[in-house]
Amino acid sequence: MTLKTIKLALPILILPLVGVGCFKISPRIAKAPQSPTVAESSPQQPSSAEKFPVLAYVDLQKGAATVTRGDSTVTVQDGLALQQGDEVHVIQGPVDLVYPDAGRSELATGTKFVIIPDDEEGGAGVFVQVRLEAGNIWTRFERLFGHTERFSVAASGVVATIRGTAFGVSIKGDSVDVQVANHTVQVTAEEPHSSSAPSSIPHVVELSAGQGLHITAKSLLSINTAHLAALVHRLTPTERRTKGFIFGSRRILLKRLHRPLHPVMLSGTPVVSPALEKRIEILRRAAMIERVFPKFAAPIRAPLQQKLRSPTSTAPTIQGPTGTLSR
């Protein structure tokens, strides 16, 4: 065996005796585990959105608005998240509200409203009541709600409630004007805050697409069904050409129903007045009753339950203590 052959064979003979690890050029270097950052190691405080659900997001379009929370009033930024008790004043319209994956509202110049939840905090789906103080609001939803989902607009003691439709509500003096562009809307008087208020059971007027109603809360409590039915009218060609009605008549693109990419959270804790606290409690009690008794409609929405009519129906339905009357 030559010297060259011995040199080549020597590593092969030694390898089984000493092991592979002895031939490592340098020891393996392992990184020490990184210590957690301050944000990770310290408990995080729940955000305002976790304590109070976001009820809608503002899409300014080309408009401008202010929002008041408690004693602070600021200019609305695009993508602002609205929570309970937030009061919005539209300086220049249109300004839209987005209810993610469900629908939108369009608000005209001069519109003023407060937004509150229409169910217990943290519930999934749409549970919103817009309390209109001035101006007008048109709303369209692109899907029918689940049984317990609700959306309503309250104005001057009159409440218009839907479970998926397109309709507009305007304040005109002491009266409220409700117009329907699609599906059906139930209109009734608000349940009074005080137990000392008259115990009259309000009528519930069901409006179909293309119908309108100009009414006061007092009339819903006092007018008989025959006179009330006469107040329901077909919308005129002029009314159907308004910007609001056109908004309610057209489908909303899916991309316009998404949450904003960069939502803006308003500083400060959402607050509501004592009167709104009572209103929220009434709505929550009504929601609880509907969950326990699915076929029962609470007085805030309909003292006598009746299924929604077909959108093609043109005869108004009046519900009340004397029964049901169709014209």
How many Cα atoms within 13 Å fall on the side-chain side of residue 174? 4
Q: Answer whether 76's CB lies under 8 Å from 67's CB.
A: yes
Per-chain mean pLDDT for the chain: 77
Looking at the predicted structure, is the pLDDT value of residue 37 above 70?
no
pLDDT at 21 over 80: no
pLDDT of residue 275: 76
Q: Is residue 29 predicted with pLDDT exceeding 50?
A: no
Per-residue pLDDT for 22 more than 80? no
Domain annotation covers residue 323: no
What's the CATH number where 228 sits? 2.60.120.1440
Residue 236 reports pLDDT greater than 60: yes
Q: Report pTM.
A: 0.73
Q: What pLDDT sits at residue 311?
A: 38
The phi and psi torsions of 139 (rounded to 5 degrees) equal -130, 140
HEC sequence for the chain:
CCHHHHHHHHHHHHHHHHCHHHHCCCCCCCCCCCCCCHHHHCCCCCCHHHHCCCCEEEECCCCEEEEEECCEEEECCCCEEECCCCEEEEEECCEEEEECCCEEEEECCCCEEEEEECCCCCCCCCEEEEEEEECEEEEEECCCCCCCCEEEEEECCEEEEECCCEEEEEEECCEEEEEEEECEEEEEECCCCCCCCCCCCCCEEEEECCEEEEECHHHHHHCCHHHHHHHEEECCHHHHCCHHHHHHHCCCCHHHHCCCCCCEECCCCCCCCHHHHHHHHHHHHHHHHHHHCCCCCCCCCCCCCCCCCCCCCCCCEEEECCEEEEC
In a domain, 327, yes or no: no
Question: How far, CA to CA in Å, does 178 sit from each of 10, 150, 156, 302, 327?
Answer: 99, 17, 12, 17, 18
The per-residue pLDDT for range 150-207, each reduced to its tens digit, is 899 999 999 999 878 899 999 998 899 999 999 999 999 987 654 444 556 778 999 9
- Which residue reads 């607050």 in tokens? 271
Name residues whose C-beta falls within 8 Å of residue 22's C-beta, 6 or more positions apart in sequence.
Answer: none
Q: Percentage of the chain with pLDDT > 90? A: 48
Q: What is the mean pLDDT of residues 130-151?
A: 89
What is the structure's pLDDT at 226?
86
Is 321 within a domain?
no
In this predicted structure, the answer to whether residue 231 has a pLDDT above a threshold of 70 is yes
Kindly state the percentage of the chain with pLDDT values over 70: 67
What's the confidence (pLDDT) of residue 68?
96
For residue 218, being part of any structural domain is answered with yes
What number is the average pLDDT over the span 267-287? 78
Whether the CB-CB separation of 85 and 244 falls below 8 Å is answered with no
Number of domains in the chain: 1
Q: In this structure, is residue 277 part of a structural domain? A: no
Half-sphere exposure at residue 296, Cβ-oriented, CA atoms within 13 angstroms: 12
Is the pLDDT confidence value at 256 over 80? yes
Structure tokens given for 134: 């001035």
- Domain assignment present for 136: yes
CA-CA distance, 233 to 223, in Å (whole number)? 16
Query: What pLDDT, on the 0 to 100 scale, is given for residue 150?
Result: 83
Assess if residue 319 is contained within a domain: no
Structural domain contains residue 274:
no
Task: Assign 278 a pLDDT band (cuts: 50, 70, 90).
Answer: confident
Supply the range of the domain harboring residue 131.
Answer: 48-264+297-307
Condensed to tens digits (0 to 9), the pLDDT of residues 199-217 reads 567 789 999 999 999 999 9
